[in-house]
Amino acid sequence: LSDCLACDSCMTSEEGARVFQQNQKELFRILNLNKKCDTSKHKVLAVSICPQSLPYFAAKFDLSVNDAARRLCGFLKSLGVHYVFDTTIAADFSILESQREFVQRYRQRNQEEHALPMFASACPG
């Protein structure tokens, strides 16, 4: 979240509370609490990894992207994270939906004044 522009366009006010909890300090606080208490009282920790971050780790540690993903997942689980999700499929769906919308807008460009240009973005945050 340190690279987040805080534009608030990706969240509602309820989600804003969840995003506020997604920081390094809170993660380590929960990890430490989980180590100290009974497993039945553990807070479940889930981490999502966006496809844009994996090439960075791969290049930094001279690994293939797949190896970087496996090692990052293993590292997070060794810290105490319960679930690690790869959001590549979600990014793929986003691209497909953007493509569908662009084709629709392109076909309507002569009938609808504001069909183009089409602005799009993807935020891994």
Q: Mind listing the pLDDT tens digit for each residue in 40-54?
A: 888 888 888 888 888
* 111 or 5, higher pLDDT: 111
Q: What angle do CA 14, 18, 19 make, to 5 degrees?
A: 110
Instruction: Please say if the pLDDT value at position 14 is more than 60.
Output: no
pTM of the model: 0.63
Instruction: Please say if the pLDDT value at position 15 is more than 70.
Output: no
Instruction: Please say if the pLDDT value at position 13 is more than 60.
Output: no
In this prediction, residue 52 carries a pLDDT of: 80
Given its phi and psi angles, is residue 31 left (phi above 0), alpha (psi -120 to 50 degrees) or beta?
Answer: alpha
In this prediction, residue 94 carries a pLDDT of: 84
* 112 or 4, higher pLDDT: 112
In this prediction, residue 92 carries a pLDDT of: 86
Q: How far apart are CA 55 and CA 65, in angstroms?
A: 6
pLDDT digits (tens, 9 = 90+) for 58-112: 999 999 999 999 999 999 999 999 999 988 888 888 889 989 999 999 999 888 8
